[in-house]
Structure 1
Amino acid sequence: MTDYLLVALALLGVLILGGLGLVVPRLRRRGEPPLPQTEVDTRAEEDLAGPPVEAAESDLSTGVLVEPPVVAAPPLEVPEPTAGRLVRLRSRLARSQNAFGKGLLGLLARDHLDEDAWEEIEDSLITADVGIDATRDIVDRLRERTRVLGTRSAGELRDLLAAELVTALDPGLDRSLRTTGRDGMPAVLLVVGVNGAGKTTTCGKIARVLVADGRSVTLGAADTFRAAAADQLETWGGRVGAETVRGAEGADPASVAFDAVRRGIDAGTDTVLIDTAGRLQNKIGLMDELGKVKRVVEKHGPIDETLLILDATTGQNGLEQARVFTEVVNVTGVVLTKLDGTAKGGIVIAVQRKLGIPVKLVGLGEGADDLAPFDPAQFVDALLGTEPLARDA
């Protein structure tokens, strides 16, 4: 009996000790008290806000946020008036044509104008790119008038020559630029030409001519193949406050030209001037693309002017350029550039005689305002390097 009692007490002791082993660890693991509401909210806000933002260097040094400086836009340029530009630039043209003018006048001043003298006069005119047919007509009329009038003095012969040259330039041709819109449509001028004729630069100068004559202008940078062309045109336009519409490099030129006209309509500008990519006249694919530009633009309305930029130094090759471009886009006027550096100004006569296309503007230098409306009498005056001719000469 005593043995059973001892076993029972031992089992009871084991049970008591096992129970204490389970209860005591739980008592030791006490839970953390709940955080105050404000602390929980603060941590939530920090999690949402992300890492702290460091202050700018200016804030750390002065405690005041410094605003970037405001760069003032450059003032708009005021182009020179176009009236009288050719007279102001006369001396420059006269210097470049001096050898030609003096040579002709020297030949006419001879005591006896024999066959050799007249042949030399013909050679001088042909060398100046007047053209063979035009030269023969000029010389034949000059010889006949000299014979009939009995003219002998150098001054009289000079006046007769000047009158014949002015007649060859056909002063009756309409040389005005159609730059005024109608019925809510701006006038549209398309500028075309071969590579290297200074087309984009001349296009910028034409914009200055239009602004100087009181026209508001929108420029279309449809030369999308030459990366710098749109930037160059935009720079020219920005100087006189003309907006430039451009596309991405390599964009469809016809699309850019179409958008330029649409922008001109929306903005209510007087004239939209579209610069196209230079192209050789014998590249059929490029010329077809130019025809597409014309057709797409004409969805807005007819093109008022198509101006061909010709380099005066190209000589008779300019005639072929003018012929092909006229067939594709119906050229209405020629802008003759680089007359300040050549004695071949007779190309003006050749172009007009062959194609009936008037020269409307001439470039006489590299200055921004060295593009002038063409006047036959003033041009001949500069060509011969003498005093201005009377209008009725």
Structure 2
Amino acid sequence: MSQQNARGRDDHSYWATFVDRFFAPEGVFRHSLHITDGGETTDKQYEIASSAIARYFHTHFHSGVKNIQLILDRGTMDRALPHDCHYVENSRASLVYWFETGSHLIANGTLRASFNSQQKLDLFEFVTSSQEEYVSRKQVIEAAKPTHAWIKEWRNVNSDMKQSPELSKKGKGKQLKSPQTHPPEVLMDLPDSAVNSKGVTPAVHQFLEIVEVMGQMNPLFSYYHANPGMGPYAALEQYVATNIVSQGGPNGQPGLQNPRTPSFNQFQMGASPAVANANLPGSPHMGSPAPGQMQAPPMQMQQSQQGTSSSGPSANTSPASNKRRRPSGVKVEDDGSGAPTPQMNGVQNRPGKPATPRMNKRTKVNPS
């Protein structure tokens, strides 16, 4: 497919005639793009109705494409169908797009085509599996000439310099000269890519996105044409009320009348929505148990690693701490009544003897 003059490129009627010649009135063109964004590859299929196929080709040639070639490799399968119909499939097909900039793109993939009894296309499908853009050799040489000429001049300037014996003995290198002309700022100025990451021109990709939305709105358009007495907005409201709200959602639930997002009316004024979920198991808003439901375990006496379990002071108690510690009780003299003598620091006083602190200081023995 190609156009030989500028008039045909901008003439939409040319492509309308082309589509009428090769496509059936209800024919469909399915184009699956191979998208490479950020190192990840995905495939997306667009379905173009017969009424939009002419605009599809027109957009290609209006955005820089000058020729489109369809190449079928070996292995084409041609199968006859009932009522004089045919089905053609080739898994090694290629679409070649030639651009006005001199580059071209080769899209490899699978072609499927279905012909009716009038030998017109009911279905034309191309599934892209890989694509590669190429630039002409002449264009690369022209882009590399400025850098090549400067490097050649630099070599001519520095080739006639001979290193002196003194510099050779000292191990110093010779000083290189620079050409009179400045080096090129860009080593190779190649043209930008003619396509985006989807493998088509930006104008074609925008057209396919619009076609996808229009295709999803076809039921609404059909409903509007079936009710000519309604205006556009009235038809939209009636269509939504009849075909979306009344049909309901999955599992018999109402459609738009019961949205997934809870309404703020379900919660009391001044209450946080997290309160209703506070007692759910595993909830991050789990509140602390009420008093009386959970009691702390009683504390138990633990033995010291180096001391004893007696109620008196530990044998490893520092004497300095005993000197600084004030007595916790008041010394009471024995009145002879036989009453128990009060304790001081956990040690019971003996009758008639003052309480003395226990000394842990080691005494030196005189080796005499």
Give TM class, smaller chain. under 0.3
- Give the structure with the higher percent helix: 1
**Structure (1 or 2) with the greater strand fraction:** 2
TM-score, scaled to structure 1: 0.18
TM-score, with structure 2 as normaliser: 0.19
